[in-house]
Amino acid sequence: MKTEILYRKGYYGEFGGAYIPEILYNNVHELESYFLDVLSSPDFKKEYDHLLKEYVGRPTPLYHAKNFSEKYKATILLKREDLNHTGAHKINNAVGQALLAKRLGKKRIIAETGAGQHGVATATVCALMNLDCAVYMGQTDIERQAPNVSRMKMLGAKIIPVHSGSRSLKDATNEAIRDWMNNTEDSYYLIGSVVGPHPYPDLVARLQAVISEEIKYQLTEKFNRSSPDYVIACIGGGSNAAGAFYHFIDDANVKLIGVEAAGKGIHSGLTAATLAIGKPGIIHGCKTYLIQNADGQITEPHSISAGLDYPGIGPLHGNLFKTQRAQYLSATDEEALEAAMELTRKEGIIPALESAHALAALQQLQFRKEDIVVVSLSGRGDKDLNTYINHLNY
Ligand SMILES: *Cc1c(COP(=O)(O)O)cnc(C)c1O
């Protein structure tokens, strides 16, 4: 895969690496030594592909949204990750990593979750594969994502509330890493995005790359061309974007657009737009951009969508930003709500609030009428119904 050019020894340009306490060295090293061999082994591929097809429901449609196309005066295609089992792209990664954990002989899975989507995906595959499952979740997120908490419990996961810091994703990640440090022998840390120490960003990107692999052949089938003019995806840690970009990174004709959550506005102090206002630093074992104050302390991010509420970003995106291979826009809470309502009313699809940020970017771009624009519809909106009901007047 050509992204290897961008990616050497755990670094994407100057970003990435593995900044970990010594106690985790063996585990990270074990993972690094095996993951490429496992991922390319026929036995893994067969089981992974089978589960993606029969269990997750792939390939997901590349839906030609005619009403949106008319409005935005270009061909707008929605990559329907919302139709996956458990409602988002997260399951692609969870299935793959759980299969990997089993091959490493691990019996217990540790995960962190923000919106609860990664927690649900992880609890789901643990039920399927008979693995113990501990999910760390900030108390604030537990309150705003109650239906997903119930789902995880029903699936047999142990939910561990985190009361430190902003009691959201960043803090849940810290606690998950702490658990892993204390249980390195039997436990596998199943990270939910293209973040964390090497090799996680690369591992997760490869598992999500199925998204762009499908886009390529679906475009060929439908439009007789294998690449679009634009790929647009929202960015929390950056995994649905990494998956949607993956096979197009080396094709300079494809414009790659990431959309961060501006929250109440980039300069409002209540934002999660990491690349817009962040500076390089180290978070959760990896060098990347992060939102920090003058002393280098991580500041609390804000977004109306729990899945984008992360103060860092995957190192792959740090590099695509720095080298200007991809362009990063942002959408506010308000703009995301409006975009969600627009998709709902025009196409009859209620998107996740995260995905609505990617849709909001359509307004910020100028298309030619012959442009083919793929938007990653990363998840469905069921989990966000309360937020929608509280914020929208209709
Ligand atoms: C978790 C989540 C995201 C953000 O995570 P990425 O790693 O940036 O993809 C986006 N959309 C949905 C629906 C999510 O659940």
Q: What is the DSSP string of 212-281?
A: HHHHHHHHHHHHS-S--SEEEEE-SSSHHHHHHHGGGTT-TTSEEEEEEEEET-TTSS----HHHH-EEE
Give the whole-angstrom CA distance, residue 210 versus residue 52: 9
Same domain, yes or no: 300 and 326: yes
> pLDDT, tens digit, for every residue of 173-195?
999 999 999 999 999 999 999 99
The reply to whether 7 falls in a domain is no
Give the whole-angstrom CA distance, residue 199 versus residue 285: 11
**181, 204, 227 - which closes a domain:** 204
Please give the structure tokens belonging to residue 21: 């306490």
> pLDDT, tens digit, for every residue of 276-326?
999 999 999 999 999 999 888 898 899 999 889 889 999 999 999 999 999
**204, 224, 242 - which closes a domain:** 204
Share of the chain above pLDDT 90, in %: 87
Average pLDDT value for the chain: 94
Same domain, yes or no: 69 and 111: no
The CATH number of the domain holding residue 286 is 3.40.50.1100
* Structural domains in the chain (count): 2
Would you give the DSSP letter of residue 392?
-
Return the pLDDT at 215: 98
Return the pLDDT at 4: 42
Return the pLDDT at 83: 98
Task: Say how many Å lie between the CA of residue 89 and the centre of ligand 1.
Answer: 7
Give the whole-angstrom CA distance, residue 52 versus residue 32: 24
The reply to whether 1 falls in a domain is no
Which pTM was predicted? 0.96
> pLDDT, tens digit, for every residue of 318-333?
999 999 999 999 999 9
CA distances from 194 to 93, 200, 209, 316, 353 (A): 10, 6, 11, 8, 20
Ligand 1 near 97 CB (within 6 A): no
Residue 69 falls in the annotated catalytic set: no
Q: Is the peptide bond before 201 cis (omega within 30 degrees of 0)?
A: no
Domain span at residue 225 reads 57-87+208-392
Name the stretches of the chain with pLDDT < 70.
Answer: 1-8, 394
Give the whole-angstrom CA distance, residue 298 versus residue 237: 15
Residue 90 falls in the annotated catalytic set: yes
Given the residues 79, 102, 112, 227, the one annotated as active site: 112
Q: Which atom of ligand 1 is nearest to the CA of 239?
A: 7
Same domain, yes or no: 294 and 370: yes
Ligand 1 near 235 CB (within 6 A): yes
CA distances from 52 to 46, 110, 113, 203, 365 (A): 10, 22, 22, 17, 33
Can you tell me whether residue 352 is helix, strand or coil? coil
Among 15, 8, 3, 61, smallest CA distance to 275 is for: 15
Same domain, yes or no: 215 and 164: no
Given the residues 79, 90, 170, 216, the one annotated as active site: 90
The reply to whether 11 falls in a domain is no
**188, 204, 220 - which closes a domain:** 204
Return the pLDDT at 1: 40
Angle, alpha carbons 283-141-277 (nearest 5°): 40
